[in-house]
Amino acid sequence: MRKYKTSLGKTLVLSSKKLDKGGEADIYQILQPSQYKNCVAKIYRKKSSAKFKKKMMTKETKLKYMTKHLISKVSTRKLNDVLILPIDTIYCNNEFIGYVMPYVKDKVSLIKLLLNDVDSSWDNLNLSSTKDKDVVFLNRLIISYNVVKAIKLLHGTDDVVLVDLKPDNILVSKKGDISLIDLDSIQINTNKVFYPADVVTREYVPRENSIIDYKNEPVNKNWDYFILGSIVYCILIGVNPFSAYYKNLHTQEELLKNGLFVHGKEKHNISYHPTSPHNNYKLLDVQLQNLFQKCLDQGSFDPNLRPNLDEWESVLFDVIQSEKKGAFPPKIKMKYKEEKDIGILSWDIENANEVLLTTYHESYKGGYKKFNLKQVQERGEIILPLFKSKYEIYAKNDKKSALEIIEISS
């Protein structure tokens, strides 16, 4: 076990075994001190080139700024759960080598979920699972909403753009909670400092990437808005919105560079497999379709037309509330009690658009005969005579129904 120092003077003891491996760094568990027991160390893989040394000097300065200024602009509770920001820089023999960050447990990268590289315990989020499709889609909407909220939290610091937002850098729990990781590559642009982004992912960046040098000049927050639209499309539909064919163009990157959104203005000239998940786009709420059109079609050519985070948050919230009506059957609670010489039947229904109460009285031939059928409110009660009868409540929403029955003996 090797020992390391932090800028705050703490001595770190790291596990010799890697927890994870990224594109330019490895993740290790921190064994000591105890105050970092819920943290990990991200250690960059060393190179001998002058270019790498210069990059590390810039990275150190940027991370020091982040630990000093950025963390104070978001709440600690949200920081630990959602924004996996650097806490302290790490040194070995006085040389900067990495940083300390919160440890994220029980989450997988969004890309694994999109590629169905998860086991059956994730079926409640898996579009290809045999679980209830309505519940899976609702959970995917919730993931999308949480991604928007996380970006909004980070953008709320006023001077940050993610730039390299991608599914690989979004971790998801089985409940749909998310965490943004690899935030050391973000752009920070204030009146006093400018730290550019380190890298971009070609399959997600907007078209202006061809004319803006993101490593040397600032990019606008609407850069993130475009990538967000692509990621939300991936989450809800299951495939990249630029994954198709157009004449002699065959890659996502080629269609993206040319602003060829699968359902955009050139949709009649764009082809994809007849069984492609793209076909499910027409099943989306029209509000979502409108956002995708503004973001990925019109917004490909005019960044100012892209929906902002407030628009995404509002529409996703509304669609989630609507989908809840159909994702789960109504929940019916019926109770019967007797007081003196009367009976009282009460009910409380959740997640229903319509509730029907049917009354059955005892038939002289035996059994029951329908006496009355009426529509009632989700909550209510009626006074009943004390004789043998049966009461049935049928509740339904947009897609599902439920039935509860109470029999009363005389």
Long-range contacts of 18-23 (CB under 8 A, 24+ apart): 22/182
Model pLDDT, residue 236: 97
pLDDT digits (tens, 9 = 90+) for 133-187: 889 999 999 999 999 999 999 998 878 999 999 999 999 999 999 999 999 999 9
Quick one: average pLDDT of 259-284? 94
Quick one: average pLDDT of 188-196? 93
Which residue from 218, 181, 212 is spatially nearest to 197, judged by alpha carbons? 218
Please name the residue that has the structure tokens 């909670």: 177
Question: Mean pLDDT across the chain, nearest whole number?
Answer: 92
Strands (E), 234-376: 245-246, 270-271, 331-339, 342-350, 354-362, 368-376
- What predicted TM-score, i.e. pTM, was given to this entire model? 0.86
Quick one: average pLDDT of 237-256? 94
Model pLDDT, residue 340: 82
Given pLDDT bands bounded at 50, 70 and 90, which one contains residue 128? Answer: confident
> Does the pLDDT at position 72 exceed 80?
no
Model pLDDT, residue 78: 67
Query: Which comes out higher in pLDDT, residue 347 or 158?
Result: 347
Quick one: average pLDDT of 105-132? 89
pLDDT digits (tens, 9 = 90+) for 278-306: 999 999 999 999 999 999 999 999 999 99
Which residue from 75, 43, 240, 36 is spatially nearest to 154, judged by alpha carbons? 75
Pick 331-408's CATH classification: 2.60.40.2420, 3.40.50.12280, 3.30.830.10, 3.30.10.20.
2.60.40.2420
Model pLDDT, residue 70: 83
Q: How many helices (H) and strands (E) does the chain have?
A: 9, 21
Model pLDDT, residue 410: 66
Domain 105-328 fold: Transferase(Phosphotransferase); domain 1 (1.10.510)
> Does the pLDDT at position 85 exceed 70?
yes
> Does the pLDDT at position 1 exceed 70?
no
> Does the pLDDT at position 206 exceed 90?
yes
Model pLDDT, residue 20: 87
Q: Taking a C-beta distance cutoff of 8 angstroms, is the pair 92, 2 a contact?
A: yes
> Does the pLDDT at position 109 exceed 60?
yes
Q: What is the dihedral of CA 268, 211, 83, 27, to 10 degrees?
A: 100
Given pLDDT bands bounded at 50, 70 and 90, which one contains residue 2? Answer: low
Q: How far is CA 302 from the centre of its chain?
A: 26
The length of the chain in residues reads 410
> Does the pLDDT at position 126 exceed 70?
yes
> Does the pLDDT at position 203 exceed 60?
yes
Quick one: average pLDDT of 231-242? 97
Quick one: average pLDDT of 21-26? 86
CA dist 404 and 395 (Å) reads 9
CA dist 100 and 87 (Å) reads 5
- Looking at domain 1-103, its CATH superfamily turns out to be Phosphorylase Kinase; domain 1 (3.30.200.20)
Residue ranges per structural domain of the chain:
1-103, 105-328, 331-408
CA dist 302 and 65 (Å) reads 33
Q: What is the chain's alpha carbon radius of gyration, rounded to the nearest angstrom?
A: 28
pLDDT digits (tens, 9 = 90+) for 362-385: 887 788 999 999 999 999 999 988
